[in-house]
């Protein structure tokens, strides 16, 4: 099994993506998480492009990593100085990082129109910059920018850029599809040529792809199959435009399907958790459709799939989800059969006889007809199961609520909600303000319940979606509200449907908190150590 060197550039190229923002401390956490996952090289950025980067390298220099090496990033020397005189190269040489990654030009179009350097001088810039850092004891990775465009334009020159890099002592030369629009057939052909040409130098050949043609993953695979053994990418494909090659997809493809050696079994089994952790840290809603690690990646709908998977999972699953730390999801819909309902009940630890299952299916059908949709509302579905089996415990009894939104004569908008509820024979009346009616209701309700159920304070509403059904009825349409909530560990969905948007939101809100308390109770039962 060929060992593939995994190079993560989330902290440098990934940070170019929209909405990517991390403090130096958070970047340090990223580095540790990448190290735990089994990444070999962690590109951390340029050690002095701004104070935050300097702080990061200062922090990194004092850390120990179990497996990974830190790479500092920079460019080949400027055209008018020697390598030793180039201030940026000196920063790299003085940096603690054992690995330096240098990017340089390969494509004549860029030499002419962007940097205005002639071809011979460019070769010297590559060669001298690498030799300088190697002479200083650094391991050097050379990133050949726009390699595939350059190769297509002038094969000889593109290969020569790589050859001088290898001869100057680079450990790896990496072919970059910087504009991201190259398709797999071209990547495969060019890489085969590169591997054949550079074979005698003994240099490691690498690949760095972007996703502008939707082929970032496939291009990385094609390169490895053509002989590359170093793969650059980012967690979850973060990066500018359409993102970088997604290592979270590339790794299981290489290891589980093509037989390359990337991670240990335990590391691979942590992949889903790692992918979610990164989204969480960056405050992105995880894409449920992500290959391998998405919530829907192994979701089954409809009776035939569920029956087939029961007979033999490989009938409908391309891999065993547990190998990447994911799990099978059986989605509930009006098309679902009894088997599906039973499977979900088992997951929730609810005993269900066939009569109950049939009633649940009837109830789901009837409610879906009215606009409910349980696929993304696992929390509400579990509450429905509990209601049918008599295992449901309401958090409170509602007397009434009222929400008032007022645009005042001075232009200010004020929102206030009052709830009146009963818990254990006691009446609670609470009023709260909010930046909208649902926010105000949420605050008033938690204000009352938080005293009784402290676990509710850990629950955050992380996602709020409103869908108007029968949209063609305008504001007289039925509203479906989906809420996602989380207590930091689990994430669950709830749903409310009503002609009145506030009533629909209230229903979803109550389900969300009631299910959250079920989760809390379950955790209390199973956890030896109380949650902080």
- The reply on whether position 82 binds its own copies by CB under 8 A is no
Nearest distance from C-beta of residue 412 to its own copies, angstroms: 10
Minimal distance in Å, beta carbon 382 to its own copies? 17
CB of 411 to its own copies, least distance (A): 9
Candidate residues 289, 320, 353, 433; the one interacting with its own copies per rule CB under 8 A: 289
**What HEC string does 339-382 produce?**
HHHHHHHHHHCCCCCHHHHHHHHHHHHHHHHCCCCCCCCHHHHH
Q: How far is the CB of 290 from its own copies (least distance, A)?
A: 7
114 touching its own copies, by CB under 8 A: yes
Site for its own copies in 474-493 (CB under 8 A): 474-477, 479, 483, 485
CA distance 220 to 230: 10
Residue placing its CB nearer to its own copies in the complex, 272 or 356:
272
Taking the C-alpha atoms of residue 510 and residue 442, their distance in angstroms, rounded to an integer, is: 9
Is 234 among the residues that bind its own copies (CB under 8 A)?
A: no
CB of 523 to its own copies, least distance (A): 21
Give the binding range for its own copies (CB under 8 A) out of 78-86, 239-247, 261-269, 348-356. Answer: 239-247
Instruction: For the segment 7-26, give every residue that binds its own copies (CB under 8 A).
Output: 16-19, 21, 23, 25
CB of 329 to its own copies, least distance (A): 9
Stretch that binds its own copies, among 194-202, 213-221, 337-345, 444-452 (CB under 8 A): 213-221
User: How many Å apart are CA 28 and CA 33, to the nearest integer?
Assistant: 9
Among positions 87, 98, 199, 288, the unique one binding its own copies when judged by CB under 8 A: 288
Given phi > 0 = left and psi -120 to 50 = alpha, else beta, which region is 247? Answer: alpha
Task: Residue 428: count other Cβ atoms within 10 Å of its Cβ.
Answer: 18
Interaction between residue 359 and its own copies (CB under 8 A): no
Give 113's strand partners. none
Ranges of beta strands (E only) in 170-303 are 172-176, 204-208, 230-233, 299-300
Q: Which of 229, 296, 389, 431 binds its own copies (CB under 8 A)?
A: 296
> Is residue 263 a contact partner of residue 38, using CB atoms and an 8 Å limit?
yes
Among 246, 267, 340, 380, indicate the residue that binds its own copies (CB under 8 A). 246
Instruction: In angstroms, give the least distance from the CB of 191 to its own copies.
Output: 13
The window from 61-69, 80-88, 311-319, 345-353 that contacts its own copies (CB under 8 A) reads 311-319
The minimum distance between CB 105 and its own copies, in angstroms, equals 11
> Strands 426-433, 230-233: parallel, antiparallel or unpaired by DSSP?
unpaired
For its own copies, which residue of 69, 192, 213, 423 counts as binding (CB under 8 A)? 213
Beta strand extents in 170-259 (DSSP E only)? 172-176, 204-208, 230-233
Instruction: Determine, following the binding rule CB under 8 A, whether residue 120 of this chain makes contact with its own copies.
Output: no
Task: Name residues whose C-beta falls within 8 Å of residue 123's C-beta, 6 or more positions apart in sequence.
Answer: 160, 161, 164
Among 73, 151, 278, 401, binds its own copies (CB under 8 A): 401
Tokens coding 508: 């979803």
When the beta carbons of 405 and 517 are compared against its own copies, the nearer one is 405
User: Based on CB atoms, which residue is closest to its own copies, 163 or 446?
Assistant: 446
Q: Is 337 in the site for its own copies (CB under 8 A)?
A: no
CA pair distance 44, 26, nearest whole angstrom: 12
Residue 135: both structure tokens together: 């002479």
Q: Find the shortest distance in angstroms from Cβ 222 to its own copies.
A: 7
Q: Using the rule CB under 8 A, is 398 a contact of its own copies?
A: yes
Dist. CA 136–CA 508, nearest whole Å: 62
User: Which of 162, 226 has the CB closer to its own copies?
Assistant: 226
Category of 116 on φ-ψ map: left (φ > 0), alpha (ψ -120 to 50) or beta? left
Interface with its own copies, residue 406, by CB under 8 A: yes
Q: Which of residues 430-449 bind its own copies (CB under 8 A)?
A: 434-439, 442
Q: What phi, psi does 75 have (nearest 5°)?
A: -115, 165
Number of CB atoms found within 10 A of residue 130's CB = 30
Closest to its own copies by CB, 16 vs 431, is 16
CA–CA distances in Å: residue 420 to residues 185, 402, 424, 450, 459: 66, 9, 14, 15, 21
Residues 145, 151 contacting (CB under 8 angstroms):
no
- Residue 471 Cβ vs its own copies, minimum distance, rounded to whole Å: 5
* Pairwise CA distance, residues 208 & 89, whole Å: 22
* Min dist. Cβ of residue 72 to its own copies (A): 19
CB under 8 A: which stretch of 160-168, 337-345, 467-475, 515-523 binds its own copies?
467-475
Strands 172-176 and 139-144: parallel
Question: Does residue number 180 form part of the binding site for its own copies (CB under 8 A)?
Answer: yes
Q: How many of the chain's residues bind its own copies (CB under 8 A)?
A: 122
Residue 397 in contact with its own copies, rule: CB under 8 A: no
Using rule CB under 8 A, residue 84 touches its own copies: no
């Amino acid at each position: 099994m060929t060992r593939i060197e995994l190079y993560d550039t989330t902290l440098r190229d990934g940070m170019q993506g929209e909405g990517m923002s991390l403090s130096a401390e958070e970047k340090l956490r990223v580095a540790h998480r990448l190290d735990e996952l089994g990444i070999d090289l962690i590109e951390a950025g340029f050690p002095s492009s701004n104070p935050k980067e300097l702080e990061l390298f200062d922090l990194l220099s004092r850390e120990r990593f179990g497996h990974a090496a830190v790479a500092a990033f920079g460019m080949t020397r400027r055209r008018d100085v020697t390598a030793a005189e180039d201030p940026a190269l000196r920063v790299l040489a003085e940096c603690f990082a054992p690995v330096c990654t240098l990017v340089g030009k390969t494509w004549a179009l860029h030499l002419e129109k962007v940097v205005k350097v002639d071809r011979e001088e460019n070769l010297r810039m590559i060669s001298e910059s690498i030799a300088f850092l190697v002479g200083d004891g650094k391991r050097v990775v050379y990133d050949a920018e726009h390699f595939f465009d350059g190769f297509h334009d002038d094969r000889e020159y593109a290969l020569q850029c790589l050859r001088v890099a290898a001869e100057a002592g680079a450990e790896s030369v990496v072919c970059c599809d910087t504009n991201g629009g190259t398709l797999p057939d071209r990547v495969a052909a060019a890489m085969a040529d590169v591997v054949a040409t550079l074979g005698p130098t003994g240099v490691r050949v690498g690949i760095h792809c972007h996703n502008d043609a939707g082929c970032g993953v496939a291009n990385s695979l094609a390169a490895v199959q053509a002989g590359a053994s170093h793969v650059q990418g980012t967690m979850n494909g973060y990066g500018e435009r359409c993102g970088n090659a997604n290592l979270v997809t590339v790794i299981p493809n290489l290891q589980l399907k093509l037989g390359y050696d990337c991670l240990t079994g335990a590391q691979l089994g942590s992949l889903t958790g790692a992918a979610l952790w990164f989204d969480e840290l960056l405050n992105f809603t995880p894409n449920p459709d992500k290959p391998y690690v998405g919530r829907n990646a192994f979701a089954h709908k409809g009776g035939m799939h569920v029956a087939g998977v029961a007979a033999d999972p490989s009938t409908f699953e391309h891999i065993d989800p547990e190998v990447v730390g994911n799990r099978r999801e059986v989605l509930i819909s009006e098309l679902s059969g009894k088997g599906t309902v039973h499977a979900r009940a088992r997951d929730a630890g609810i005993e269900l006889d066939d009569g109950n299952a049939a009633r649940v299916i009837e109830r789901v059908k009837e409610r879906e007809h009215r606009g409910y949709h349980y696929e993304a509302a696992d929390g509400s579905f579990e509450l429905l199961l509990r209601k049918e089996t008599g295992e449901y415990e309401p958090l409170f009894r509602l007397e009434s609520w009222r929400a008032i939104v007022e645009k005042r004569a001075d232009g200010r908008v004020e929102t206030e909600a009052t709830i009146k509820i009963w818990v254990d024979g006691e009446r609670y009346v609470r009023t709260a303000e909010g930046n909208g009616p649902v926010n105000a209701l949420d605050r008033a309700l938690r204000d009352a319940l938080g005293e009784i159920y402290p676990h509710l304070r850990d629950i955050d509403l992380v996602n709020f979606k409103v869908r108007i059904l029968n949209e063609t009825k305008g504001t007289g349409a039925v509203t479906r509200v989906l809420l996602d909530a989380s207590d930091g560990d689990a994430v669950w969905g709830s749903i409310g449907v009503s002609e009145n948007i506030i009533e629909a939101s209230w229903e979803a809100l109550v389900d969300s908190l009631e299910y959250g308390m079920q989760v809390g109770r379950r955790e209390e039962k199973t956890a030896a150590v109380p949650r902080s």
